[in-house]
Every structure is written in structure tokens, then in C-alpha cells.
Amino acid sequence: MTQAPVRFGIVVFPGSNCDHDAYYVCKKILGQDAVFLWHKTPDLRGVDVVILPGGFSYGDYLRCGAIARFSPVMQEVERFAARGGLVLGICNGFQVLVEAGLLPGVLLRNTSLRFACRYVNIRVENSFTPFTSQCRSGEVLAIPIAHGDGNYFADDETIRRLEQNGQVVFRYCTPEGEITAGSNPNGSLGNIAGIMNEQGTVLGMMPHPERASDVLLGHTDGRKVFASILEHVFSRTSTSLRERTPSIVMEQGRR
């Protein structure tokens, strides 16, 4: 039986500028199905995975992601996440996720008060997630950042819970994997570069994996994030098919 392609939905807000990057990776690099989801339309069009892309939704007015959080499509994204659907928020998408309450904490101005745009190294802290199964725990990925508000902050109890539950997925590090102040590009607590929800189905990360997924760009570490998502959806679909197979066989036997 041929495996149906995974359907990615990339949300487009006014000011999104990495939506086409994400679409390109899903459609051209991964060879899967991909559709754009306009922010005013509360319809996810039957997607398997939702991506909230990077950019400057609503011009970052008030706070990054503060207005995008109220877009009609986000009501459906919240319902989708509540049902266990996979949601990946990249950069501005991460900011939207925390504003929507789908992830804890906040993203503040970089401590340098400057926009940071360069390749950084991030260490995989948890490889047992739908977003990192194709990585090794402790593996260092080279992925670019492009943000002015990537400084992750949360209260002590939230940080303790994130650490205890393995919800910290990525940390900024040196090329050798050391967690140092110098390798932290924005001042994030604990060098945090990406976190997930308790269920492990919603991931927010400031680095841009879609910008490190094409050999033409010289870096492909980011592709591991998308490959992990594919593996998870495919395995979930296969399990569902296996669970339904006995009843299908029995029904056919009665005919």
C-alpha cells in the first residue's frame, strides 16, 4: 500500500516572510503536500501538521505575536493542538505560540538590544520527540537565527517544570556542544532555543530549520526536524492502519 503524503499547512499572517521557505522545504525538499493557510480563514484544510512561520506578523505591533494570536485561524490551531495535532512554531511562530498560551513563558528583547542574524549551534536535549527522532541526544545542529526578540524567559517554577519534564528540546551551545554564555545569542534563560508542550506535540524554536534544509544553501541540519515530523506522522498512520486491518479482514470474510 502506498503511503499517502503528509499534508503540511503553513499559516500566513500579514508580515509573515518565511512562509514560502517552509512551503518550499515541505513541497520540494521533502516531496510532501503543502498548503498555505490564510490567517482570516478558520479552516486547516485537513492538514496533518501546522507550521507557524517566521516573520513579523502584524509588524510586531504591541508585542511579537500579540495580535496574530487573535487571528481566526489560531482558534482552529488551538483546537488542532488540543486533539494532539503536531504544531511547529518557528521564530515569530514561537512568539505566537507563547502569546496564545500553547507554550509557557515569554520571548523578550535580545539582551544586546540588537537584531541577531547568523548561524548558531544548538544542542539536541531531547531526541525522543516527534520533532527530533532523527537526531541524537547531545547532537549539535548548525541552524540560522534571525530575530530581535528571542530571549526566552519564564518564572522559576516553569523553568523547573520544563527541565524536569524534558520539555527543553534545544539549547544554544558551542560547536563542541558546551553550554556557555558566549554561545547564547539573545540571553535566553538556560540557553533555551526551543521548547515543547507537556504532550510533546507543540514545538516552538527560535532558529530557522527551514533555512538549513537545502544542500544549495550549504547546510542541511534543519532537515532533521522535518524528517522527524515525517517519521512520526507516517508511524502514526501505519499504526492506525494496523489497528483497523483485523476488522477490515473480518468484514471481507463475511462477504
Confidence of residue 254 (pLDDT cuts 50, 70, 90): very low
User: Does a structural domain hold residue 149?
Assistant: yes
List, for residues 173-182, the tens digit of each pLDDT value.
999 999 999 9
List, for residues 94-106, the tens digit of each pLDDT value.
999 999 999 999 9
Comparing 1-15, 140-154, 204-218, 239-253, the range with the smallest average pLDDT is 239-253
Contact 228, 129 (CB under 8 A): yes
Q: What is the phi/psi pair of residue 238, to 5°? A: -65, -40
Q: What is the total count of domains within the chain?
A: 1
User: Does a structural domain hold residue 86?
Assistant: yes
Contact 81, 47 (CB under 8 A): no
Q: CATH number for the domain including 58?
A: 3.40.50.880
Q: Residue 39 catalytic? A: no
Residues in Cβ contact with 62 at an 8 Å cutoff, skipping those fewer than 6 apart: none
Contact 147, 167 (CB under 8 A): no
Per-residue b/e over 215-238, b at no fewer than 16 CB within 10 Å?
eeeebbbbbbbbbbbbebbeeeee
> Active-site residue among 125, 210, 219, 232?
210
User: Does a structural domain hold residue 226?
Assistant: yes
Residues in Cβ contact with 37 at an 8 Å cutoff, skipping those fewer than 6 apart: 9, 10, 11, 12, 43, 44, 45, 47, 50, 73
> Active-site residue among 39, 208, 219, 232?
208
Confidence of residue 2 (pLDDT cuts 50, 70, 90): low
Q: Residue 135 catalytic? A: no
List, for residues 58-113, the tens digit of each pLDDT value.
999 989 999 999 999 999 999 999 999 999 999 999 999 999 999 999 999 999 99
The CA distance from 212 to 209, in Å, is 5
Q: Whole-model pTM?
A: 0.92
Instruction: Give the torsion sign (CA, 193, 110, 158, 86).
Output: negative
User: Does a structural domain hold residue 2?
Assistant: no
Q: Residue 232 catalytic? A: no
User: Does a structural domain hold residue 123?
Assistant: yes
User: Does a structural domain hold residue 1?
Assistant: no
User: Does a structural domain hold residue 93?
Assistant: yes
List, for residues 198-251, the tens digit of each pLDDT value.
999 999 999 999 999 999 999 999 999 999 999 999 998 765 444 433 433 333
> Active-site residue among 18, 26, 64, 91?
91
User: Does a structural domain hold residue 69?
Assistant: yes
Structural domain boundaries, residue 183 = 7-254
Segment 176-193 shows an average pLDDT of 98
